[in-house]
Chain A
Amino acid sequence: KKLNISHSQITRLYSRFHSLDKGENGALSREDFQRIPELAINPLGDRIINAFFPEGEDQVNFRGFMRTLAHFRPVEDNEKNKDLTSGEPLNSRTNKLHFAFQLYDLDRDDKISRDELLQVLRMMVGVNISDEQLGSIADRTIQEADTNGDMCISFSEFTKVLEKVDVEQKMSIRFLH
């Protein structure tokens, strides 16, 4: 119920889920995602695919699919003042930031270490930037973000660095109907 998506949008997403599910077993595997050419050429394609699969699992069912996609629902104005007793909706600013944080956090330990940052940077630039340059970029980034001196970026430090960025707009996908 936290998802708050209209009936027609659910039908459309289910139709999409079904067309991606080549094995027709009601669940998507990593290969099913990799079959999308535009995702396969995305430098962070593998990290995004990973975000759909909970720890240690190889299949995602429709519920899980929807749950992950729900992070990208646009935030409507009247929802910002909504009564919070029902729990924070998946598409809140915090949850969107958390989704992006998890793309960096390879081992899911709630911290972005220098190594992890380097690996993700390497994915994004390919072979076009040298190791030293990449290393200095990573060091600089951690220096700017790290406030408690543990040489890692925690979620709250991540949030602080991005407090001026319009996360709601950058991490939202708008349905046409």
Chain B
Amino acid sequence: MPMKAVFQRRLQKLKHIRGVQQPVFSLICMLLGISFTVWFTLLLVFIIVPAIFGVSFGIRRVYMKSLIKLFEWATLRMERGAKEKNQHLYKPYSNGIIAKEPVSLEQEIQEMRRGSAEPEFDMSDIFYFCRRGVESIVDDEVTKRFTAEELESWNLLTRSNYNFHHISTRLTALWGMGVLIRYGFLLPLRVTLAFTGVGLLVVLTSIVGLFPNGRMKNYLSDKVHLMCYRICVRALTAIITYHDSENKPKNGGICVANHTSPIDVIILASDGCYAMVGQVHGGLMGVIQRAMVKACPHIWFERSEVKDRHLVAKRLSDHVADESKLPILIFPEGTCINNTSVMMFKKGSFEIGCTVYPVAIKYDPRFGDAFWNSSKFGMVNYLLHMMSSWAIVCSVWYLPPMSRMEGEDAVQFANRVKAAIARKGGLADLLWDGGLKRGKVKEVFKEEQQKLYSKVLVGSSEDRSRS
């Protein structure tokens, strides 16, 4: 009763002061207030509390299954539309668009000579280099790894559509609804969660940092880290499947994984506790880094220290030698690759001589492409893309631990681990350096090609007598 009286009195007051529009305005305010409360309660119950305890309602998986059905329907409609107009849909093929024969230089040139006794120069030798060169212009193995993977069926996002003229009105309506849902509902939800997650991380790790060192502190630090990363995982609507959890990394080891985006860290750290390695940043990242290191020892390097390979190796070995410290998480590719291949692993982390726990991460690009093309998009732009996609779906495989074998050097060990990760994740195993994203290829590779050809030309016997 008193509420109603108060409300009516207020209504009359407002009417006097500002005219008749006011009651509508205050009604809207009340509705907003109620919806906010409901919103936050739902958020708490369905997302934050499960995150704290590490359980899941399974809502995300249902969401994922319905999305798959939707995408398949959309592709069928587009194909039907294309057939009516008697055209073909553009279908991207990430396995290559031209037929490349895996014939080596020697094989091909000998073939051309047709077994003549003297391997002399022939004017037709140029054909091999010519064709190989033009093949690489049309389709090469490296440059396509640095742009987002193309999809076989459309996932109702403008950024991955190549068949604009085949979209019917029904599809456009669906796409429009998708935009509304993604930007109007999912994006604000995710941004709220992200802020909550990061905020809690900073605050709680600082609190844990006040405890004295010991088992209690480690226990609390683990729980706090896990909880905050789980909230962040929900902030991206990441649906992750972990395989072979019995191989999870243990203390005193190094965990290596293939790198696709900064989100890899969140994905791995929400299932286990790791010590992070990285450069000290300023701004928000710096605040987070400083807070995290209060709760448990992470390895942050100053910019100047990064260049000093010995210093880096020493700090990593010291950390690994201490059994009470968490396993280190490292991405040996050194840069983000688009998740269709694994590129050269830098040998630094493989020289330390401890157990290596390889992890393979494979994203399903249909729901949202996690690859960060750092030359095209900045971090904020990237996060916006992430949070306005449908979801991030990925699989994580924990591979059995590996150690360096007798007579194996760091580079061979690194390649062995890389091959295992590529095989498990279904990725192409490349020898090329991820640094080619930005830098030029080394001259020494060209010199190798020239050497090979000279051998064929001059004949191997002469070669031996010269050397």
* A interface residues, Cβ below 8 angstroms from B: 7-8, 11-13, 15-16, 19-20, 33-45, 48, 69, 72, 99-100, 103-104, 120-121, 124-129, 133, 137, 140-141, 145, 153, 158, 161-162, 165, 167, 170-177
Contacts and interface: CB of A to CB of B under 8 A. Distances in A.
Contact of B129 (A16, A124, A128): A124
Kindly name the residue among A11, A38, A100, A177 whose own CB sees the greatest number of chain B CB atoms within 10 A: A38
Interface string B144-171: 1001000000000000001000000000
Given A41-B446, A171-B130, A36 B97 contact: no
Nearest to A96: B127
A99 to B, nearest CB: 7
Contacts of B127: 100, 165, 167, 170-171
Contact of B458 (A19, A42, A99, A133): A133
16 contacts: A11-B90, A19-B144, A34-B440, A37-B432, A38-B141, A39-B137, A43-B446, A100-B130, A104-B126, A125-B450, A140-B121, A158-B123, A161-B123, A162-B123, A171-B127, A174-B98
A103 B130 contact: yes
B133 A165 contact: no
B454 A39 contact: no
B191 interface: no
A14 to B, nearest CB: 10
A5 B313 CA distance: 55
Nearest to A28: B137
B440 A43 contact: no
Contacts, number: 159
B447 interface: yes
Interface string B82-113: 00000110111100111100000000000010
Which bracket fits the contact residues of B? 35 or more
B136 interface: yes
Question: Taking chain A's interface residues, is the majority helix, strand, or loop, or is none over half, making it mixed?
Answer: helix
A42 B136 contact: yes
B133 A128 contact: no
A128 B455 CA distance: 8
Nearest to A124: B453
Nearest to A13: B138
Given A124-B450, A124-B453, A177-B93, A145 B441 contact: no
A113 B132 CA distance: 25
